[in-house]
Structure 1
């Protein structure tokens, strides 16, 4: 482009000399044209710049790990002047990592029209993918001038984590929410407020469970099976303190999120409603979500991923435990990638729960030996990055 400008300057000088040496109308016209042409190019391209708008179009704001998802760059030109060549630089990155990637797109821009350029992205890890324009450069037809617009136009796509099969035992507890109306659809229990099923009398059944009115009609004893409450005070506490500055930061965070998702799915599969707590950096407070269905879980996971800011700030979990010291649980599971013996001692001694677990994500097998046990009521379970199913085989929850 510099060469083009120098060429035009030389041509204007030559035309000026030609006009001085030869007093012809043609020489005057040629000089006027050579001077006016760059001015016209500047004005028309500047007008076009002022009438260009840029945005991203993403059909679905969520995507699946390791699968391509389409993103469209939409450039709308409201002016009557075309742009033969435009250059856009696109930058994208996962908010859980410091690795930034970029690429260039080249496109013409038609007058009074919208141009759509589709490109594909994918991510091997869950998280928030931020996509933005660094700039959109437009050039006049003679490539004398360049104008920059549309800096920091951005959008986001949430890459959802994948659940993994885990093994363990879900224990049923007397600690239930007595005001809840959530009962098991598959197992009977002892809650007389709800009838689970009616069946014929078997030896050993309690007499107070006989449905006398129905038995008189059937000429046989009919027994009521009561329902099993599933709204149990069960908590998954996710510590998002993941400040690793290395190539393993993203795999560690990915495993952390998927470990939480896998345990939550395991609880739902066993009809155990539960709550999830994590620090929401966007709200600067701990958030609690009640999870009673896969829909609740999907909403909580999306909120969890969106809650992490680019500074990766996470409040110390002790703040939550101090503010909520009187809580008691049927089961309490602490999920983290930051091994903190003092905090684990505090959970072991101070949190009231029938079953307590500390699930700790580590980045390599060599660290297994450094994750010690020896707690009176806390079960410590190391999870190696990428090996969730193999690591969680016998969780009591």
Structure 2
């Protein structure tokens, strides 16, 4: 637009000087016509404001490193022509946070649709959100410009690459995967299992009195109930960003490992859960996986998980809210240094961290 205005100014200056020198009627008419044309372009740009819309044609999914193509369709709802159209597109991988901006140019006559092709290629799996940030509409000469703020977006899935994973599980768990274990370190509220014996205290339920021991020792003793621990696996995916040390591709690599482990457990007929902290909704999420269909249904959501800078991890949030409903095994998928997080779960389950760049052959004990 700046270039067009400079050229128009030079042209107008030339006509004025030529008219002053020659006093030619033809040059005078050309100068007046130029001024009228500029006024026409100005009013045209005003009239075209909010008269042009656009929408996408986006492929549903793609493979990693695959060049895929889509379309952005412009629709001019006015009878007047839209001289120049420029859309600013933002491509964002929600999982990794990677962003790329490109511009698409087009033209559209009155009451006409026109389309422009775009392409994208991603080296990482994830949900690619394609959005139009703004649309610039100018007159035919490019002298005047109107800007439309838009909120148009669509999503394309870049499928994860399945890793070769062999999950080994101890015999005590494979025989009865859905049975219940009890913590040996912490009491609970399940009267069906005794955690320990202690002296009676005021307020204790009489139902918990251990009559045989009380009769033998001559004092009242009560049974402390056990804490049930599910004999199942929790795959927890970390979405908090505590430091800036990790690479953008780390989240994609971890997601591929998580989905591969989940798929392997499903093939073995082992029910498990996938957990994460949704940074957008600010809440913990848990999904039970007992079949390949369950896993397929949530893959889109998993690939759309956004990472956010926080002062606490999602696993710490889980430890606070689900402390009374522990799992037998926790696999923690994180790009961050787990520090002493394992100590939070040492009393109740086996805990293992899965990090980027590490082998995914996992032994559950």
Distance 2:314 2:50 in 1: 48
Distance 1:238 1:262 in 2: 13
Change (3 A) 1:169 1:55: same
Distance 1:96 1:311 in 2: 14
Change (3 A) 1:31 1:163: closer
Aligned to 2:5: 2
In structure 2, the residue corresponding to 1:327 is in which secondary structure? coil
Aligned to 1:36: 36
Q: Using the TM superposition, give the Cα deviation of residue 318 of structure 1 relative to its aligned residue in structure 2, in angstroms.
A: 2.4
In structure 2, the residue corresponding to 1:307 is in which secondary structure? coil
Unaligned runs of 5+ in 2: 181-229
Report if aligned partners of 1:58, 1:71 keep a CA contact under 8 Å in 2: yes
Aligned to 2:271: 273
Aligned to 1:304: 302
Distance 1:312 1:63 in 2: 31
Change (3 A) 1:99 1:329: closer
In structure 2, the residue corresponding to 1:341 is in which secondary structure? coil
Q: Note the 1:59-208 alignment, pairs <5 A.
A: 59-60=59-60, 62-97=61-96, 99-151=98-150, 153-170=152-169, 171-174=173-176, 176=178
Change (3 A) 1:35 1:255: closer
Q: Using the TM superposition, give the Cα deviation of residue 14 of structure 1 relative to its aligned residue in structure 2, in angstroms.
A: 5.1
Distance 1:314 1:308 in 2: 16
Q: Using the TM superposition, give the Cα deviation of residue 271 of structure 1 relative to its aligned residue in structure 2, in angstroms.
A: 0.8
Report if aligned partners of 2:56, 2:154 keep a CA contact under 8 Å in 1: yes
Change (3 A) 1:329 1:154: closer
Aligned to 1:288: 286
Change (3 A) 1:261 1:242: farther
Please list the CA deviations of residues 204-248 of structure 1 after superposition, one character each: whole Å capped at 9, or x if unmatched: xxxxxxxxxxxxxxxxxxxxxxxxxxx9633222223345536x5
Change (3 A) 1:315 1:345: closer
Q: Using the TM superposition, give the Cα deviation of residue 97 of structure 1 relative to its aligned residue in structure 2, in angstroms.
A: 4.5
Distance 2:143 2:42 in 1: 8
Q: Using the TM superposition, give the Cα deviation of residue 11 of structure 1 relative to its aligned residue in structure 2, in angstroms.
A: 5.6
Aligned to 2:213: none
Change (3 A) 1:44 1:12: farther
Unaligned runs of 5+ in 1: 179-230, 364-382, 384-390
Distance 1:294 1:2 in 2: 61
Report if aligned partners of 1:87, 1:106 keep a CA contact under 8 Å in 2: yes
In structure 1, the residue corresponding to 2:101 is in which secondary structure? strand
Change (3 A) 1:303 1:144: closer
Change (3 A) 1:310 1:235: closer
The TM-score normalised by the length of structure 2 is 0.73
Q: Using the TM superposition, give the Cα deviation of residue 59 of structure 1 relative to its aligned residue in structure 2, in angstroms.
A: 3.9
Report if aligned partners of 1:276, 1:291 keep a CA contact under 8 Å in 2: yes
Distance 1:86 1:328 in 2: 57
Aligned to 1:321: 319
Please list the CA deviations of residues 152-185 of structure 1 after superposition, one character each: whole Å capped at 9, or x if unmatched: 543333323222121232341546279xxxxxxx
Matched, 1:335 2:338: no
The TM-score normalised by the length of structure 1 is 0.68
Change (3 A) 1:12 1:46: farther
Higher relative contact order (CA 8 A, sep 6+): 2
Matched, 1:358 2:326: no
Distance 1:341 1:137 in 2: 50
Change (3 A) 1:315 1:244: closer
Matched, 1:48 2:48: yes
In structure 2, the residue corresponding to 1:76 is in which secondary structure? strand
Q: CA RMSD in A?
A: 3.2
Distance 2:165 2:329 in 1: 17
Q: Between Structure 1 and Structure 2, how many residues are aligned? A: 310
Report if aligned partners of 1:77, 1:114 keep a CA contact under 8 Å in 2: yes
Aligned to 2:361: 393
